[in-house]
Amino acid sequence: MFLPMTMQEAKKRGWDEFDFICVTGDAYVDHPSFGIAIVSRLLESLGYRVGMIAQPNPQKPSDFQKLGTPKYGFWVNGGNIDSMVAHYTAAKRRRSNDAYTPGGKAGKRPDRAVTVYCNKLRELYPNANIVIGGLEASMRRFAHYDYWADKVMPSILVDSKADLLIFGMGEKQTEVIARHLAGGGQADQVRCRGVCYLTDQLGLPADAVSVASFAKVSENKLSYAKATHTEIEEQDHIRGKHIIQKQGNNLFLVQTPPMEPLSQEELDRVFALPFERMYHPSYEAMGGVDAIKEVEFSIMHNRGCFGNCNFCSIAFHQGRTVTCRSEQSVIDEAISFTKNPRFKGYISDVGGPSANFRRPSCDKQLLHGLCAQRKCLAPKPCPNLVVDHREYLDLLRKLRSIKGIKKVFVRSGLRYDYMMLEKDDTFMRELIEFHVSGQLKVAPEHCSPNVLDCMGKPHIEVYERFSERFYRLTKEVGKEQYLVPYLISSHPGSTLQDAVNLAVFLKKHHIRPEQVQDFYPTPGTVSTCMFYTGLDPYTLKPVFVPTTQEEKWLQRSLLQYFKPENRRAVATALHKAGREDLIGSGPGCLIPPERSHAGAGAASSAGRAQGAKNVRAEKNSGSSKEKGKDQRDPAFYGRRGRGRSAPAGTPKTGKNSRYAKKGKR
């Protein structure tokens, strides 16, 4: 049974008031891929009466008042992804649809939804407890650069006027806070792990580290980069300390140390909550909610990611420590699918932030926490890293043996660099033979070493070895399957020459991306810090940042050099990069010579015109990340956590490949 969205539904349960009311920027989808669904079901399991207000209109007070005044307080989130990302492309153009809204209609939530919702609640319920959480609140907990406003904004606690902020995966905090409020306490008095609160100087904890104030990071980019470094490094539940940041005159933000991850038993209990695994039936007449399509029959078996890519929100939100559900919990969920009349026998994914992580990266971190200023996999794997796919492989074998299940897919989120550290081919062979649906998505992201270093990714040689092994094993098992590499253009560190090198790499490997993702500076990530400051927060060394519309378009066009409409822009880019040798009819050239070439100046003008045309087109089409995966999969922003999504691309190998037959060589 869904939680009540109206008083009529509440009365059917015999309720005339609610203990807690959850307010969300998404449609109400009762599925564990949705953070608000977990929070609401957890509160229900603790014995509280919980109501849901989904996508209220800030211009209609009645939307916020329809369930009355909650006995203990409101829980507010902006949805599975930041509301600004839900509304705008990387080019800051309005999206034409929203997969988290009934019928896919765009604009059903306000910009900066958490702030708008909380301000309206504070106006209507001046004395109510308001607790915020979810990705939008979590990633904006400190003073942060806002790409859409192009300025540094204070902690979202300041602008929202909420009492308390939960960061990270909030089940433990939710229980502590709920019991505190039910016992007569106030939300702004909570001091458990995993929360942020505002206080004056007298209320500051003694055992804390300080970062530069909101005023300082707003005017000094070096201070911003140093603050980011400290904020990132203290996000470890074992060694992390309190963090203090001044927000205004005698107003300080305090982040308590991160909450301990759920144990396996606790995680199993969360996924055993009575989710309906579907959107509320009231949305059916509106066309349903598209976001459910990719996750209804998918399984999340883990949380956290020690991959820690710089452009991804997971390390700052979920954390780097990997925790997993038990095999039995996952199997029970799969068996429940077979009893669902909508299930057709296909499990769409068995994954998480990184699908093939079933344990922490090493045993040392269990006592001492994850290493500061070091990554487990990049640029080279740590010698202490423990690589073991046996448990994950055993889980996949058991899932595909369940009666009523035809196929179990692993669609994305696989760390190929982790796979390449295995001593034999057992896991990869079975993955290719049984769990790939024709295409396997992996994320090399770029090919240039300096760009990959800025991304926190392994160098491209690892991907090349993986590709060779993938196609060899694919041939050995008698299948025709392809890799789909995710790529990002215009990431900090990427010069025009780097983009040219990537185009050459794609040409060499017969990869033709159908869509390309420009780097999207979302709040709270290391890459966004680089974008804003031009500095690497770990080293404080300068980083080149492509910022102009023309430069971004030229880099993006190079990744699709084979498209006739991009030819002028590619010519401009090659002239600017001094790589005219790539214009010609030779096998290594990217584009043919122009019939009547008017010089780089004319090409540049045409490139700018094409760039403007592309931006206009993007308003309606979007990239694969913007229009597709980001909209339906909370992974990119932390709940399931693949951490990124970018263009689809398929290698064309062999004169008899099905792609060659279609004339797409």
List Cβ neighbours of 555 (8 Å cut-off, separation of 6 or more): 489, 490, 494, 496, 499, 546, 573
DSSP string, 519-581: ----TT-HHHHHHHHSB-TTT--B-----SHHHHHHHHHHHTTTSGGGHHHHHHHHHHTT-GG
Q: How far is CA 626 from the centre of its chain?
A: 12
Confirm whether residue 305 is marked as ligand binding. Answer: yes
- The residues with which 435 forms a beta bridge, in sequence order, are none
User: Measured on CA atoms in the order 629, 300, 484, 321, is the torsion positive or negative?
Assistant: positive
Alpha-carbon gap, residue 204 to 247, rounded angstroms: 13
What secondary structure letter does DSSP report for 286? G
Confirm whether residue 192 is marked as ligand binding. Answer: no
Structure tokens at 196: 């942020």
Alpha-carbon gap, residue 609 to 605, rounded angstroms: 6
Confirm whether residue 196 is marked as ligand binding. Answer: no
- The residues with which 650 forms a beta bridge, in sequence order, are 512
Amino acid identity, position 575: H
- The residues with which 517 forms a beta bridge, in sequence order, are 488
List Cβ neighbours of 383 (8 Å cut-off, separation of 6 or more): none
List Cβ neighbours of 370 (8 Å cut-off, separation of 6 or more): 236, 306, 320, 321, 361, 376
Amino acid identity, position 357: F
Nearest to 234 by CA among 385, 369, 144: 369
Nearest to 522 by CA among 110, 107, 140, 36: 140
* Cα pseudo-dihedral 566, 572, 577, 580, rounded to 10: 90
E strand map for 282-327: 298-300, 302-303, 323-324
Residue at token pair 């270093």: 453
- Burial of 565 from C-beta contacts in 10 A (0-12 / 13-18 / 19+): exposed
- Residues forming the annotated binding site? 305, 309, 312
- Residues forming the annotated binding site for [4Fe-4S] cluster? 305, 309, 312
